[in-house]
Amino acid sequence: MKFLGMKKVRDGKYLKGYDLTYLNKAGVKKTYEMVSLSDLKNETELGKAVNGISIVAFKDEKMLLLKEFRMGVNRSIYNLCAGMLEQDETIEECIARELYEETGLKLERIIKILPPSFAAVSISDAKNQLAFVEVSGELSDHTSPNEEIEPHFYTKAEMAALLKCAEFSTRAQLAGFYFTQGSL
């Protein structure tokens, strides 16, 4: 594959659309559509910025999941607490802010933050970090009118039952599975 060029084709509030032109392995010129959360100046910036955080949170041997309405699929799914980094915000500050905004919970302890990974590599260069944390407090709603989020803590048995019938984001499904196996 040989990269030939990049052109911005959409400049939305959050998502920027780009056409990437390349030669495929047969030497045929192709265009690949992708989106970025970053305003990219050139191809050297593709996949460089860390945009957000996904949070696997625990309290009293239970794991937090959000049942949230996602416009892109027009239904509620099970997901992790997550969000975008604000300008000049540290990952730790983002974790605490997102936990509070989406659940009302307080960050007690960061267990581990994994290095950045791609969130949707087939369509975007967005990068997130995955954090494993312990939380305290009671669940309460601090969301905006544009969010429909129902947070809840699940035991391993409850999570195993959900995994059989509910719709999940991939990251939440994977975390939930490993939680049921005693690996988290």
Cα–Cα distance, 164 to 11 (Å, whole number): 40
Instruction: Give the pairing type, strands 106-113 and 81-84.
Output: unpaired
**Contact between 101 and 84 (Cβ < 8 Å):** no
Nearest to 103 by CA among 133, 123, 127: 133
As a CATH number, domain 50-180 is 3.90.79.10
Strand order in the sheet with 2-11: 2-11, 16-23, 29-36
Amino acid letter for position 54: S
Measured CA distances, 41 to 46, 116, 169 (Å): 9, 21, 31
Q: Look at residue 184 and tell me whether its pLDDT is greater than 90.
A: no
Mean pLDDT (whole number) for 18-38: 97
Q: How would you class 166 by CB atoms within 10 Å of its CB: exposed for 0-12, middle for 13-18, buried for 19 or more?
A: middle
User: pLDDT tens digits, residue range 76-125?
Assistant: 999 999 999 999 999 999 999 999 999 999 999 999 999 999 999 999 99
Q: Look at residue 52 and tell me whether its pLDDT is greater than 80.
A: yes
Query: pLDDT at position 143, please?
Result: 86
Query: pLDDT at position 70, please?
Result: 95
Q: Look at residue 159 and tell me whether its pLDDT is greater than 80.
A: yes
DSSP, collapsed to helix, strand or coil, labels residue 26 as coil
The residue ranges of every structural domain in the chain are 2-45, 50-180
Q: What percentage of residues in the chain have a pLDDT greater than 70?
A: 99
Query: pLDDT at position 164, please?
Result: 97
